[in-house]
Amino acid sequence: MFYENDWVMRQINMLVQFAARVIFHKDTVEYDIEDESNLTDTDDLYLKIQKLLQEGKICEAEDLLFENRSDTEAYLTLALDFYQKLSKMSDEELEQHNFSRQEIYDGLKEVLFRFKGMPELPVEL
């Protein structure tokens, strides 16, 4: 199980780095609210997701992410940031909230697959 989770963690990190470099020409991606006095729809979504994560409601946060899917770079940044944060959680913390590394990987693959600005991925997902 440990080796499987280690492999999944590496796959998650590689997918995030790939998307960051191809779409954003950066090594990492982090969602930032640029103007707190004038929140965008994606900013609102980010705040709602962060609140759910703080409450340990990972499944609800992911559902909200997918319910509000868009083909904007802001949404992709938010999604990548979300899955990066989840991947940094311990296995015990994820399990406590009924989530797994495999679900992180699967969700990330789905986001990248659906994002229209993403070129074809070089590896089989």
Residue ranges covered by each domain of the chain: 2-27+56-114
pLDDT in tens, 57-74: 999 999 999 999 998 999
Alpha carbon dihedral 23, 46, 49, 15, in 10-degree steps, equals 10
Give the single-character DSSP code of 32.
-
| Cβ atoms of residues 8 and 41 within 8 Å | no
The pLDDT assigned to 4 comes to: 58
pLDDT in tens, 7-34: 888 888 888 888 888 888 988 889 999 9
The pLDDT assigned to 3 comes to: 54
Mean pLDDT (whole number) for 81-109: 93
The pLDDT assigned to 6 comes to: 77
Kindly indicate the confidence band of residue 40, based on its pLDDT and cuts at 50, 70 and 90. Answer: very high
For 58-105, the DSSP string reads: HHHHHHHHHHT--SSHHHHHHHHHHHHHHHTS-HHHHHHTT--HHHHH
The neighbour count for residue 2, using CB atoms within 10 Å, is 7
The pLDDT assigned to 125 comes to: 43
pLDDT in tens, 1-12: 555 567 888 888
pLDDT in tens, 110-125: 898 888 666 555 544 4
